[in-house]
Chain A
Amino acid sequence: MCLGVPGKLVAWLDRDPLLARGQVEFDGIRHECHLACVPEAEIGDYVVVHAGIAISRIDGVEAERLWRELRTIGEATAPMPAEDPS
């Protein structure tokens, strides 16, 4: 029930605070999502979508920091993937 899927905001469709919507891309597939809870999101940002509404904007800097930290446990390997291949 609390599943949230990260997707990339590729277009704003409506910026009204209550009716805010945009196109969010998940692995190359675009869905229209409600964006009232992430009005600060910019094109290219990743958001977590649950039940058709973005509930969080992903902090890319924090994700990168954690990724690097985890990679130091054991040997360092590849950098974090920059983008979806789509």
Chain B
Amino acid sequence: MKYVDEFRDANTVDRLLDALRRRATRRWTIMEVCGGQTHSLLRYGIDEALADVIELIHGPGCPVCVTSAELIDNAMELAKLPDVVVITFGDMLRVPGQHGSLALARAAGARVRTVYSPLEALTFAEKNPQVQVVFFAVGFETTTPATALAVLQAERRNITNFSLLVAHVRVQPAMELLLQAADNRVQAFLAAGHVCAVVGYASYAELCRRYRVPVVVTGFEPVDLVTGLAACVEQLEAGRFDVENCYGRSVQAAGNLHATRLVDAVFEVCDRPWRGLGDLPSGGLRLREAWKHFDAEHRFPRSPLPILETTGCRSGDVLSGRIKPPQCSAFGSQCTPEHPLGAPMVSSEGACAAYFHYARTSCDTTASPATIECR
């Protein structure tokens, strides 16, 4: 496939790896923000190939993983209402809330469906006017144009049995939160390429300057990832802290103005609790007042469920990069993809699932805690 196969070329990756190793004079700690990049790095063995010069810390860039348990409980309760169908992405189904999961709710009779696009949910609503369709809108900035377009099209096509349970999150506030932590070890970021395709990367310049950290916009194929890592190392070695775009074929500095116009028309920035990270100022998006009639929480008001005790899952530490998945005592024993305790073991982009899937199931504990390596 064009623009995929050539960026998976093994010879090019090998040459880039060699050049990167030659440039590095020490071991650097770099965080890839996006869960899709985490999986690519592990799938292609890039983490192991560069273990002597780069420690990769896996970031919180899995929107399924950071969706609060309360919102998942809300979605389950909505799905149990008569004549309501909750539609969401397949990744969300098995993520545990506090009171079960959407998959368990469906098994018990609740109406839950999955789609690839919010616009498919809108089409389902149009074809089934006898039911109320609630789209559980999960995702980073990459996904928000599709959700905004669904709302705008619903208005245009006069589809009134469609609403949103909004769980959209914004990635940059999470990066800032990690940098502000007293125990932060991140020295450079790979910024999520497709988030930047939508919102651009100009806003990272201030973050780079304030925290003296390079941010490199990076794609998802192995050549892209090694190129991005090499750019981080080049900046770190040279003592520079700039925002740099290594995914120029898909990302412009200003992002996609058509997309951001759609999003800005429908959504506004809000504070949002992130699972594992806590309340994040400006960490989410909500419907603007003018679009409240599409807000499922407004359309179906209900009392919140009681908050339960948490399990032994350390997904918060995983999501903030404090530990690698195998350092959680539940990893691979009480917690597996078949019986997940936490969201990162469920989602196809979760770090725990990536470590389990690619058999990085033990840690080299001879390394110092700060440089512990998982294989």
Binding site for B on A (CB under 8 A): 1-4, 6, 8, 18-19, 26-27, 34, 36-39, 46, 48, 50-53, 55-56, 58-60, 62-63, 65-67, 70-71, 73-74, 77, 80-81, 83-84
Question: CB within 8 Å of A: which of B244-294?
Answer: 248-251, 256, 258-259, 262
Can you name 14 A-B residue pairings with CB atoms under 8 Å?
A1-B347, A2-B142, A4-B142, A6-B1, A18-B149, A19-B153, A19-B156, A38-B258, A48-B250, A59-B249, A70-B16, A73-B19, A74-B19, A84-B2
Across the interface, B248 reaches (CB within 8 A) one of A3, A6, A19, A59, namely: A59
Q: In whole angstroms, how far apart are the Cα atoms of A29 and B138 in the complex? A: 27
Instruction: Return the chain B residue nearest A82 by Cβ.
Output: B2
How far in angstroms is the closest Cβ of chain A from B24? 15
- Report the bound CA distance from A34 to B259 in whole Å: 12
Q: How far is the CB of B258 from chain A (nearest CB, A)?
A: 4
User: Could you say which of A8, A37, A38, A53 contacts B2, with CB atoms under 8 Å apart?
Assistant: A8
* Candidates B63, B64, B250, B262; contact of A59 at CB < 8 Å: B250
Q: Which of B118-158 contact A (CB under 8 A)?
A: 118-120, 138-140, 142-143, 145-146, 149, 152-153, 156
Q: Which residues of B contact A (CB under 8 A)?
A: 1-6, 11-12, 15-16, 18-19, 34-36, 61-64, 89, 91, 116-120, 138-140, 142-143, 145-146, 149, 152-153, 156, 192-195, 197-198, 220, 223, 227, 248-251, 256, 258-259, 262, 347, 349
Please judge, given known A-B contacts A2-B34, A56-B256, A66-B249, whether A51 and B139 are in contact too, CB under 8 Å. yes
A55 pairs with B256, CB closer than 8 A: yes
Question: How many A-B pairs with Cβ below 8 Å?
Answer: 145
| A65 vs B195: C-alpha distance when bound (angstroms) | 23
**B2–A46 touching, CB < 8 Å:** yes
Which B residues are in CB contact (< 8 Å) with A73? Answer: 12, 15-16, 19
A6 touching B16, Cβ below 8 Å: no
In-complex Cβ contact of B262 among A37, A46, A52 (8 A): A37
What CA separation (Å) do A18 and B256 show in the bound complex?
A: 15
The answer to whether A55 and B5 touch across the interface, beta carbons within 8 angstroms, is no
